[in-house]
Amino acid sequence: MKYTALLILVTACIALTSFQYVSAQTFDRTLAMGSSGTDVSSLQQMLMEKGYFGYPTITGYFGTVTQRAVADFQVANGIEPVGFVGPA
């Protein structure tokens, strides 16, 4: 019984860490080159936490650094690397 509970706990921990990269962040509009605002800041923060946004500060402006970070994230997660983010 004790080993079964431990196995279930370990399995649950592995499952949780396997899906850790998936973000629950949703956006109400398409964020692309030239966009700005708090939603772009949120996107940059998420990308920074996951190691894709290497700019030293969160700017809230969607420029070439953010576009590259989005495309890199998309490639790493099996998403077509379009370089922009939308509600879908």
CB proximity list for 13: less than 8 A, separation 6 or greater: none
Is the pTM higher than 0.85?
no
Specify the DSSP element, H or E, that contains 68. helix 64-76
Averaged pLDDT in 10-residue chunks for the chain of 88 residues? 40 40 70 97 97 97 98 96 91
CB 53 within 8 A of CB 47: yes
Distance CA 61, CA 55 (A): 12
Distance CA 69, CA 41 (A): 13
Q: Is 38 helix (H, G, I), strand (E, B) or coil?
A: helix
Cβ count within 10 A of residue 44: 24
pLDDT for the residue 24: 54
